Amino acid sequence: MADTSPALNEAGKAMIVARGVRKHFGAIHAVDGVDLDIRGGELFGLIGHNGAGKSTLFKMMLGLIPITAGEIRIDGAPVGAGGGSFRAVRRKVGYLPENVVLYDNLTGLETLDFFARLKGVSPADNMHVLERVGLVHAARRRVREYSKGMRQRLGFAQALLGRPRILFLDEPTNGLDPEAIRGFYAILRQLRSEGVTTVITSHILAEIQERVDRLAIMAAGKVQAVGTVAGLRERMDLPLWFDVRVAPADFEAVRAVLGHLPVGAVEAHDDHVAVQCARESKMAVIAALASLDGKVLDLSVREPSLEDVFFGFSD
């Protein structure tokens, strides 16, 4: 598979490594044998249905809950093994939990002071962190008055305290409007250019698919597939759709010219014909349509969405 990951920091070494990781809650196998390699400097997505095991995997990576079996290493240090090496790594990690707990009576700035003390980092940077997430104007307002999106950004700000090298963000765009989501990913890109490794979970596939370097698809406690979006699409070999804009009078001409080709569904819409075809037939379909000599007014190709890929793997 083509590797389109960014410039890897520290010579592309694996920053987060999971081997045979399991978490059982009694009879529930929340995480059921996960192997994963996330590289330094990568923006990595973890997607899956509700209950797929994403949050549980995150919590194990952070050392917040014990691992039933297997091993996780972060920057070379085994998680949960005790000792100084993981504690040192833990200081380089920022975490935004799915439901971050904030105190309504504190202002945004006081909130960051509080989390900075908990984390044992200097509060000197706090205004700068608020600026980074676009909250500097609300620094002295009480969290009670914050909108859901502002709370989410404040949660993100606490994850950024102490300039982490590794970020775990669990559903970070929950409650953000489209503009705020764009702004949020702009910050992630900036952090990536600074070499920060980020792991992000999301249900919103359309949102994540254009923005991560690679992703893992989780279902039923297992990683079903890992790769770039393009690579996953290729492996699934899902059909493409052509949208062929022609005058309604020419619909039949389109059908006729495609008649001898191995195309799938051909659907007539108000102002275009949608044609499904296997990837290997793509050029033959284009050649056939070109032979229609000016009848085709416009042509666009729809690639299978990540949603198609996702459901293909996790069904």
Ligand X SMILES: Nc1ncnc2c1ncn2[C@@H]1O[C@H](COP(=O)(O)OP(=O)(O)OP(=O)(O)O)[C@@H](O)[C@H]1O
Q: Of the candidates 42, 45, 55, 107, which one interacts with ligand X according to CB under 6 A? A: 55
User: Is 28 near ligand X (CB under 6 A)?
Assistant: yes
Contact 178, 135 (CB under 8 A): no
DSSP 54-119: HHHHHHHHTTSS--SEEEEEETTEETTS-SHHHHHHHTTEEEE-TT----TTSBHHHHHHHHHHHH
Nearest approach in angstroms of CB 203 to ligand X is: 6
User: Is 45 near ligand X (CB under 6 A)?
Assistant: no
Angstrom distance (rounded) from CA 216 to CA 224: 7
**Which letter does DSSP use for residue 260 in this model?**
T
Nearest approach in angstroms of CB 7 to ligand X is: 30
Q: Of the candidates 50, 82, 105, 124, which one interacts with ligand X according to CB under 6 A? A: 50
Contact 200, 208 (CB under 8 A): yes
Which CB sits closer to ligand X, 52 or 273? 52
- Please give the residues from 77 up to 106 whose contact with ligand X meets the rule CB under 6 A: 98
Q: Of the candidates 48, 63, 149, 164, which one interacts with ligand X according to CB under 6 A? A: 48
Angstrom distance (rounded) from CA 167 to CA 190: 13
Which CB sits closer to ligand X, 64 or 186? 64
Angstrom distance (rounded) from CA 32 to CA 105: 41
Helix (H, G, I), strand (E, B) or coil at 38: strand
User: Is 202 near ligand X (CB under 6 A)?
Assistant: no
Which CB sits closer to ligand X, 15 or 47? 47
Report in angstroms the alpha-carbon separations of 196 from 38, 201, 241: 12, 16, 37
Helix (H, G, I), strand (E, B) or coil at 134: coil
User: Is 287 near ligand X (CB under 6 A)?
Assistant: no
Nearest approach in angstroms of CB 26 to ligand X is: 7
Nearest approach in angstroms of CB 73 to ligand X is: 20
Q: Of the candidates 40, 41, 45, 53, which one interacts with ligand X according to CB under 6 A? A: 53
Q: Of the candidates 30, 129, 196, 273, which one interacts with ligand X according to CB under 6 A? A: 30
User: Is 7 near ligand X (CB under 6 A)?
Assistant: no
Which CB sits closer to ligand X, 129 or 199? 199
List contacts with ligand X (CB under 6 A).
Answer: 25, 28, 30, 48, 50-56, 98
